[in-house]
């Protein structure tokens, strides 16, 4: 087993596992965010639990961050290695004749998602860390001195979707996320060797996931923009 990550298939496998992990996380993230539309109070309660329960904060969150970093770094490593495998380009190459745009441009959709994540971290993660660990306020309340002021999470979310430019950036990023997932979902299963009689059904499910989840995030962003 030693050196498996030094092989092309091992790297594919690791990339696929990190992708599957992130797709599970994305589903969980969406499930909580949609509560901000369907059940705002529950959204606040779940957000407070997620933000204060030590297992999530100190065990799962670092694993998630490592998973994200690994996926991006491995993506760049694979892109560099793949570019080295063809040093002279074709004068004429008709890639559209045999493969989808999404499959040929994973690096660009991935870079768009990376850019979005920097904005998303700046919008939500950095302020959260600041309030909890710099200011030392673990109450989750709008006014930490007033127990009746309610949780701050929904208000923070709504505040972020006031600016049209930010909502536009989020919407564009989710379109890139959909493009990335439209190839990435199936590709991950192919990489772990799961190409069998269930593949046809998996392809259908992957399209539902790849379009449905980003579309759901777009809906949430637009909902809060038009209802603030």
Partner 1 sequence: MDLKLKIWRQKNANDKGKMVDYPISNVSPDMSFLEMLDVLNNELIEKGESPVSFDHDCREGICGSCSLYINGEAHGPDRLITSCQLHMRTFKDGETIVIEPWRAKAFPVIKDLVVDRSAFDRIQHAGGFISVNTSGNTIDANTIPIEKADADDAFMAATCIGCGACVASCKNSSAMLFVGAKVSQFALLPQGQVEATDRVLNMVKQMDEEGFGNCTNTGACEVECPKGISLENIARMNREYLSASFKG
Residues within the interface to partner 1 (CB under 8 A): 1, 4, 7-13, 78, 81-82, 84-95, 97-100, 103-104, 106, 183, 186-187, 190-196
Minimal distance in Å, beta carbon 100 to partner 1?
7
Task: Give the nearer residue to partner 1 in terms of CB position, either 80 or 118.
Answer: 80
Q: Give the end-to-end CA distance of the chain in Å, rounded to a whole number.
A: 54
Minimal distance in Å, beta carbon 19 to partner 1?
11
Q: In whole angstroms, give the CA distance from residue 85 to residue 139.
A: 54
Task: Give the nearer residue to partner 1 in terms of CB position, either 89 or 227.
Answer: 89
Minimal distance in Å, beta carbon 103 to partner 1?
4
Query: What backbone phi and psi angles, to 5 degrees, belong to 96?
Result: -65, -20
Task: Give the nearer residue to partner 1 in terms of CB position, either 21 or 217.
Answer: 21
Lookup: tokens for 193: 């060797």
Task: Give the nearer residue to partner 1 in terms of CB position, either 99 or 146.
Answer: 99
Q: In whole angstroms, give the CA distance from residue 26 to residue 181.
A: 11
Helical H segments across 92-162, by residue range: 101-104, 106-120, 126-129, 153-160
Q: In whole angstroms, give the CA distance from residue 113 to residue 21.
A: 16
Closest CA to 173 of 104, 126, 129, 121: 121
Task: Give the nearer residue to partner 1 in terms of CB position, either 11 or 120.
Answer: 11
Minimal distance in Å, beta carbon 61 to partner 1?
29
Minimal distance in Å, beta carbon 80 to partner 1?
10
- Which residues, in sequence order, are CB contacts of 132 under 8 Å at separation 6+? 51, 138
């Amino acid at each position: 087993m030693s050196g498996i990550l030094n092989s092309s298939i091992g790297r594919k496998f690791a990339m696929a596992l990190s992708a599957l992990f992130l797709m599970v996380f994305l589903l969980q993230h969406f499930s909580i965010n949609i509560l901000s539309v369907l059940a705002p109070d529950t959204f606040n309660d779940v957000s407070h639990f997620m933000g204060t329960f030590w297992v999530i904060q100190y065990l799962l969150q670092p694993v998630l961050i490592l998973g994200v970093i690994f996926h991006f770094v491995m993506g760049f490593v694979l892109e560099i290695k793949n570019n080295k495998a063809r040093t002279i380009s074709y004068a004429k190459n008709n890639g559209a004749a045999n493969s989808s745009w999404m499959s040929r441009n994973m690096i660009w959709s991935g870079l768009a998602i990376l850019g979005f994540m920097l904005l998303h971290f700046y919008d939500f993660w950095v302020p959260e860390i600041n309030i909890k660990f710099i200011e030392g306020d673990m109450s989750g309340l709008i006014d930490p001195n007033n127990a009746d002021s309610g949780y701050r999470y929904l208000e923070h979310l709504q505040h972020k979707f006031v600016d049209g430019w930010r909502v536009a950036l989020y919407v564009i990023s989710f379109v890139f996320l959909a493009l990335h997932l439209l190839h990435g979902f199936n590709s991950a299963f192919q990489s772990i060797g799961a190409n069998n009689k269930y593949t046809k059904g998996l392809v259908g499910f992957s399209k539902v996931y790849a379009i449905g989840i980003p579309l759901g995030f777009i809906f949430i962003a637009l909902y809060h923009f038009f209802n603030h």
